[in-house]
Amino acid sequence: MILPPGTTIAETGAALRRGAITATALVEECLAAIAERDGVLNAFITVLADDARRQAQALDAELTRGLDRGPLHGIPISLKDIVDLAGAPTTAASRLRDGHRATADAPVTARLRAAGAVVVGKCNLHEFAFGTTGEESAYGPTRNPHAPEHVPGGSSSGSAVSVAADMALASIGTDTGGSIRIPASCCGVVGLKPTHGEVSAAGVVPLAPSLDHVGPIARSVADAAVLYGIMRDGPHRPDGGGQEAEPPVARRPRLGIPRRYFLDLLEPAVEGAFADTAERLARTGCRIDDVDIPHAADTGPVYLHTQLAEAAERHRADLDVHPDAYGRGVRLRLELGRYVLAEDYVRAQRGRRVLTAEVDAALEDHAALLLPTLPIVPPRLGTASIAVGDTTETTRALTLRLTQLFDVTGHPAISIPCGTAGGLPAGVQLVGRRGDTERLLAVAAACEAAIRRLS
Amino acid sequence: MRLDDWCEQARRDAALRGLPDLDPLLDMLFRATRALRAADWAREAPADPAEGAAGPGAADDKRPSAPPEGRR
């Protein structure tokens, strides 16, 4: 280990610039971690060792010549394998994509590479990003680095694992119902879903376009902020705007806990970890009170009718021609979407407007909402349903329960680690105002510092 | 279309297409659809005549008879 665990991208960049390390050494360290652990964890579908080495050498030479691309210069990252990288396959973890090779970078990939990021590989995922555990993949299941018999969360399973297991310093994932925040929580890392539409989803295999978000998974809020600043749409500022070494930290933010529905169904270990986190935040000066989202319990049906219909429409032709190329579970869920009636899709869009207004109202006097990311601890692989108290739900429904609302409404949301629940990583979720992802990052930086200070 | 009719037709269609495994998922979808149609903000839509005032999807009853995906 050439840098201590927890070193931020800014600190790594500083070490690069003073010559204490090289981009080449960073890439070699990531490749060594992949070689050592990926046989068990299965986080990568494609490892790009030769390309990464070549790019790192070129970026080291640039720094020597005085050419500095900014905070991502020479930083090794990974991409969820639904994001196009020119010359590499984009498998979406499906046999349906066998033989695919991207002819161009997705805009988000192009931004990151232009900023000096080195892509070490493309990460495993739940097939077509249509699942929350990382188990259904044509390339085999991904495993949790903290307990390989447990799921890492999905669908950006390999991305979160690659960061948690030091195979990359950061990764790019996507989030349609929670697919960045769920694996971030399960793996003990940070996952940011920006405001809907802020980061281009072009060149990214879609699942349900009106719900799809692209965002970073990273070791810290500061690292997520660096990536977000580069990934988001809009012109790059010549002063490196949006690429500051460290994000601002909010002082004494006021947080609202949407208790009803969101805290109604939690495993005891999660309930304890969340209560402990809220208490820590209050002790460090955060002002915390309750808020209400009156129709939160309607989120599931609204999400389901939107997501299923849009996904089925995207896959219609392939379902007819190559049905057996899909994994069984994903195929069935896609087929299910073909039975959503148009009138119910329209109703769901009306529900989205209602829910969006209610989340806006809950945030009117609060810097962010505070709630758990998951109601359960990461389950063992193969767990179809889970009993919480006297309620039994499918694993899929439980994992989506606390995250999907903010895909439906498009509000920015981030999961940050808050210790452990049942011996496995747990995450707390912060939700910010629409169009103000930067403010959410500042609040998240303050909360992360408070949680770490009192741990 | 009345939801009960649609439910029946969907099951038949899935069976004809060799997808009997869809049955439990269709159950879940139709529970969610009932809940969606029963939501108070959905009242602008015409009521489903198959579901009387005392039925599980009645407009005044926001709770489905069993929890659909993502609901308690």
DSSP string for residues in A164-211: HTTS-SEEEEEESSSTTHHHHHHHTSEEEE-STTSS--TTB--S-TTT
Question: Quick check: is B29 in a domain?
Answer: yes
Q: Residue A420, Cβ neighbours under 10 Å: how many?
A: 14
Looking up tokens 């005044």 gives B60
Q: Residue A274, Cβ neighbours under 10 Å: how many?
A: 25
Domain A9-231 carries which CATH code?
3.90.1300.10
Locate A347 and state its tokens.
Answer: 């109703």
Q: Residue A324, Cβ neighbours under 10 Å: how many?
A: 8
Question: Quick check: is B2 in a domain?
Answer: yes
Residues of A forming the active site? 80, 155, 179
Residues of chain A with CATH 3.90.1300.10: 9-231
- Cβ neighbours of residue A211 under 8 Å, at least 6 residues apart? A176, A177, A196, A303, A306, A307, A310, A407, A408
Reduced to 3 states (helix: H, G, I; strand: E, B; else coil), residue B65 is coil
pLDDT of residue B11: 95
Record: contact A305-B69, CB cut-off 8 A: no
Please state, in angstroms and rounded to a whole number, the distance separating the CA atoms of residues A219 and B46: 50
Locate A86 and state its tokens.
Answer: 């020119």
For strands A287-291 and A254-258, give the pairing: parallel
How far away is chain A from the Cα of B34, in angstroms, using its nearest Cα?
Answer: 9
Identity of the amino acid at A254: R
Please state, in angstroms and rounded to a whole number, the distance separating the CA atoms of residues A131 and B21: 18
Q: How many domains would you assign to chain B?
A: 1
Written as tens digits, the pLDDT of chain A (455 aa) is 678 888 999 999 999 999 999 999 999 999 999 999 999 999 999 999 999 999 999 999 999 999 999 999 999 999 999 999 999 999 999 999 999 999 999 999 999 999 999 999 999 999 999 999 999 999 999 999 999 999 999 999 999 999 999 999 999 999 999 999 999 999 999 999 999 999 999 999 999 999 999 999 999 999 999 999 999 987 554 334 444 555 677 788 999 999 999 999 999 999 999 999 999 999 999 999 999 999 999 999 999 999 999 999 999 999 999 999 999 999 999 999 999 999 999 999 999 999 999 999 999 999 999 999 999 999 999 999 999 999 999 999 999 999 999 999 999 999 999 999 999 999 999 999 999 999 999 999 999 999 998 77
Please state, in angstroms and rounded to a whole number, the distance separating the CA atoms of residues A414 and A231: 16
Record: contact B72-A332, CB cut-off 8 A: no
Which residue segment(s) compose the domain that B59 sits in? 1-67
Contact list in A for residue B32 (CB cut-off 8 A) is 300-301, 304-305
Are the CB atoms for A100 and A122 separated by under 8 Å?
A: no
Question: Quick check: is B72 in a domain?
Answer: no
Record: contact B41-A350, CB cut-off 8 A: yes
| Global ipTM | 0.91
